[in-house]
Amino acid sequence: MHMQRKLLVTALAVALCLAFTPLAMAKEIKVGGLFDITGPTGAVGKDYAAGAVAGEKYWNQKNVLGGDMLKLIPNDYAYKIPEAVNLYKKYKDVDRVFVIQGWGTGDTNALRPLVNKDKIVFFSASYDGNLTDPKKNPYNFFIGTSYSTAIRLAMIYAKDQGAKKVVFIYPDHPYGKNPIPAGKDYAKKLGLQIGPDEIVNLRAIDATSQLLNMKKFNPDFAWIGGTTPSTAVIIKDAAKHNLGTKFMINCWGFDENLPRLAGKAAEGRAFGMLPVAPFGANVPGMKDVVAAAGDKPTTLHFVKSWVSMMVMVEGLKKAKAAGKLNGPGLKAALETIKDFNTGGLCAPITYTSTDHRPNTSMAIGGVKDGKIYLVKDVNFPRQKAYIGW
């Protein structure tokens, strides 16, 4: 009897210890965060960084990882590739991360060989089509329609609007340059004439010379592959010089700030590629996004990183359930995601072991009465020929 009582007391003590020490059993999942807040893309990068930070807090409060906690380690690398490489080494060697939320096209591509060798999953804010071929880049993922898909859809829209001539305007950065071959290839397939390229810096305050050069060709549509501040400069100068050209704008150059920066010049002239819903849009998933943003004004770039964190968390849940909470386990888990519903924040997301394009659908937006609005939803057929470019 005495022995039974002793065993019972011991069992109760063990049970109480297990019941009241869940945090000791929980893991801290460190997530690297490469963001541009003060560099040349900081105007859009700061909202993206804020969305990732808000996402970390939200999913930790939801306890979706069964007690495990996310720990985002954000750094401002100011769009400098050497700084991104140095921070990557710290994330790998000091913080021991197996997943990173990254940013730009130049640094993401510079880090490709490293993340694939080190088996660290890398979610980028670069939607470079080059990253979508898992044969070459097995650890690269993103959530938005690829730049190459977007530029093809832009050419289709221009053609449907009766365009005969197009040109391409972009900054001398990988982000600006990388989608151009896909755009020109598809423009030729559509029978569109292509004029001379124009280079406009991300921090441009005037684009008069480029637009006067462009005016000689007199294109019906022009692609802009910059960010919102330089896009606004182009749009305003186009209006000032009475260009009849309309502009198709990549996803980092078209947001809620464009009507404010470009004014009336944007109305009927600026059309943007939207891989995610604008901030505050009437879709089911937006309620939590708006609440997480709080009182601070923000843009659809906040939504982009929120979705990137959401998809990462979905992959982590699957990896944990499989007992493989590491880089290869997360990669394998992500490649089982099929038609993932983000609550309308973007098109359903699917990854496979042979295709890392998240989706091939997006919206085209316009500007009216000082706000962006939905012009139409567009879709490009998911073809194997376009994996990786």
Q: pLDDT tens for residues 93-108? A: 999 999 999 999 999 9
Question: What CA–CA distance (Å, rounded) separates 28 from 62?
Answer: 15
DSSP H/E element including 73: strand 69-76
For the record, the structure tokens of 377 come out as: 């939803």
Question: What CA–CA distance (Å, rounded) separates 337 from 349?
Answer: 7
Query: Which SS3 state, helix, strand or coil, does residue 35 take?
Result: strand
The more confidently predicted of residues 10 and 161 is 161
Q: Look at residue 283 and tell me whether its pLDDT is greater than 70.
A: yes
The phi and psi torsions of 375 (rounded to 5 degrees) equal -85, -50
What confidence category does residue 87 fall into, taking pLDDT thresholds of 50, 70 and 90?
very high
The DSSP letter of residue 352 is: B
The whole-number pLDDT of residue 24 equals: 41
What confidence category does residue 296 fall into, taking pLDDT thresholds of 50, 70 and 90?
confident
DSSP H/E element including 378: strand 371-379
Write out pLDDT tens, residues 217-270.
999 999 999 999 999 999 999 999 999 999 999 999 999 999 999 999 999 999
The whole-number pLDDT of residue 201 equals: 97
Write out pLDDT tens, residues 355-371.
999 999 999 999 999 99
Q: Look at residue 90 and tell me whether its pLDDT is greater than 60.
A: yes
Angle CA 44–268–104, to nearest 5: 20
Report the range of poorest mean pLDDT among 11-20, 42-51, 128-137: 11-20
CATH 3.40.50.2300 fits 26-144+280-357, yes or no: yes
Please report the beta strands in 124-205, taking only residues with DSSP state E, as ranges in sequence order: 140-141, 165-170, 193-194, 198-199
Domain boundaries, the chain: 26-144+280-357, 147-274+364-386
Q: What is the dihedral of CA 280, 282, 288, 290, to 10 degrees?
A: 10
Q: Is the pTM of this model over 0.85?
A: yes
Homologous superfamily in CATH for domain 147-274+364-386:
Response regulator (3.40.50.2300)
Region 133-155 average pLDDT: 99
Question: What CA–CA distance (Å, rounded) separates 200 from 221?
Answer: 16
Residues paired with residue 30 on neighbouring β-strands, in sequence order = 71
Q: Look at residue 3 and tell me whether its pLDDT is greater than 70.
A: no
Domains 26-144+280-357 and 147-274+364-386 agree in fold: yes
